[in-house]
Amino acid sequence: MFGALFFWLCATIAFFFGIGVVVARNPMHSALSLVATLTATAGLFLLLQAEFIAWILIVVYTGAVMVLMIFVISLLNLQKDDPIDWNPARRWGVGMVVLFALVFLVYLFRDPLAGFFSIPQAPPTPPEWGSITVVALDLFTRYLLPFELASVLLTAAVIGAVAIARPESPERETKER
Amino acid sequence: MIGLNHFLLMSAVLFSLGMLGVLLRRNALIILMSVELMLNAANLAILAFSRFPPAANGLMTAQDLSVAGNGMVLVFLVLTVSAAEVGVGLAVVIHLYHQRRTVNINDANILQG
C-alpha cells in the first residue's frame, strides 16, 4: 500500500517536472526541473530495491552532473527566450513520437484486466539485494573488465573535454602577451 | 499493487518526454538535458527488469536472483558513460558558444555543404 502511494507520488513528480524540462523557456528552469525529475526517479529506484544505484544517482547526477550543467548555464549567461521551433520537419517528428506513444498506450491498456494489471509478483529478495556489497562483488569479480574500461572512458572524456573547451588558437594568446 | 508494467510505462513516458525535448528544442544545453532524461528512463527500465525477472513465478533460485541483480552493474556502467557524455557535451557547447556566441544548434552549420 505504502509502495503504491510512493510509486504514484514519484511518478507524478517525475512526469510533471519532465514536462518542465522540455517546455521551460529559461534553461535554468529546465535544469532545476531535471534535478527534480532525477530525484523522483531515484525514489523509483529505491522502490525497486536498488538502493546503491539510487544513492549513486542522487550523488553523481543531481549532485555533480547537474551542478556542472547549472555552472555552464550561468557561465554562458543564457537568459534569453528560446521558443520552441515549429517548422514542418519538426512538426512531423513530434507527430510521429506522439503517435508512437499513443499506439503504445493503447496496446498496453487494450485489455486492462488481463494485460496490464495482472502483474507477476516480484520475487522475494535476500535482504542484501541491491546493497553496495552485492553490486561491488559483481563489479569487481565478474565485470572487472567493463569496470576498468569505464575508468579508461572517464579518463578519455576528461582529456577530451579539456582539449575541446580550451580557448581557440593558443598561438594568438602568446602573441598578445 | 505496483508491478513491472507500471515501471515500464513510467520509463516509456520519461523517454518520450526526452525525445520530444531533443526534437523540439534548439538550445544545445536543453537537448543535452533531454538526452539525460532518456538515459535515465532506460536505467529505470533496466532496473525494473532486474527486479522482475522473466521467470518470476516464485521458482527463483538464489542463482537466478544473483544473475538478475547484475542489472544494477549495467546501470552503474550506464551512469558512468552518461557522466562522461555530459562532460564532453558541455565542453562542445562551451566551444560552440566561444565561436558563435550562441548555443542555438540551428546556427551551428559550419559543416553544412
Kindly state the percentage of chain A with pLDDT values over 90. 37
Residue B67: per-residue pLDDT? 74
Report domain B4-107's class: mainly alpha
pLDDT in tens, B52-107: 876 545 556 667 777 777 888 999 999 999 999 999 999 999 988 888 888 888 77
Residue A11: per-residue pLDDT? 93
Of A92 and A7, which is predicted with more confidence? A7
Closest partner residue to A22 (CB to CB) among B21, B36, B103 is B21
Residue A95: per-residue pLDDT? 82
What structural domains does chain A harbor?
A: 1-84 (1.20.120.1200), 126-169 (no CATH)
Residue A172: per-residue pLDDT? 55
Which residues in chain A are closer than 8 Å to B95, comparing Cβ atoms? 164-165
The number of CA neighbours under 13 Å toward the Cβ of A39 is 13
* Rg for chain A, CA atoms, rounded: 22
B69: number of Cβ within 10 Å: 23
Q: Does A131 touch chain B (CB under 8 A)?
A: no
Residue A49: per-residue pLDDT? 86
CA angle B56, B15, A13 (to 5 degrees): 85
pLDDT in tens, A38-87: 999 999 999 888 889 999 999 988 889 999 999 998 888 776 666 666 77
Whether the per-residue pLDDT at A174 is higher than 60: the answer is: no
Band (B3; pLDDT cuts 50, 70, 90): confident
Q: Does B67 touch chain A (CB under 8 A)?
A: no
Q: Which A residues 54-83 touch B at CB under 8 Å?
A: 56-57, 60-61, 64-65, 68-69, 72-73, 75-76, 78, 82
In this prediction, residues B8-20 reach a mean pLDDT of 88
Band (A94; pLDDT cuts 50, 70, 90): confident
Q: Which of A12, A15, A47, A48 to substitute to test the interface with B, most B CBs within 10 Å? A: A48
* Rg for chain B, CA atoms, rounded: 19
Distance from CA of B42 to the nearest CA of A (A): 11
Whether the per-residue pLDDT at A24 is higher than 90: the answer is: no
Whether the per-residue pLDDT at B109 is higher than 80: the answer is: no
Q: Which residue of A has its CA nearest to B65?
A: A125
Whether the per-residue pLDDT at A155 is higher than 90: the answer is: yes
Q: Is A43 left (phi over 0), alpha (psi -120 to 50) or beta?
A: alpha
In this prediction, residues A86-92 reach a mean pLDDT of 75
Residue A171: per-residue pLDDT? 59
Q: Report whether B8 contacts A6 (CB < 8 A).
A: no
Residue A111: per-residue pLDDT? 60
Whether the per-residue pLDDT at A96 is higher than 80: the answer is: yes
Q: In this complex, do B50 and A50 lie within 8 Å of one another by their Cβ atoms? A: yes
C-alpha cell at A51: 538502493
Task: Write the ipTM.
Answer: 0.89
In this prediction, residues B6-20 reach a mean pLDDT of 88
C-alpha cell at B39: 538515459
Residue B86: per-residue pLDDT? 92
Whether the per-residue pLDDT at A88 is higher than 90: the answer is: no
Residue A78: per-residue pLDDT? 73
Q: How far, in Å, CA of A55 to CA of A60, rounded?
A: 8
Alpha helices in A48-122 (DSSP H): 51-56, 66-76, 88-109
Whether the per-residue pLDDT at A158 is higher than 90: the answer is: yes
Please report, for residues A13, A73, B94, the alpha-carbon distance to residue A36 in angstroms, rounded to integers and kept in the order given. Answer: 7, 17, 25
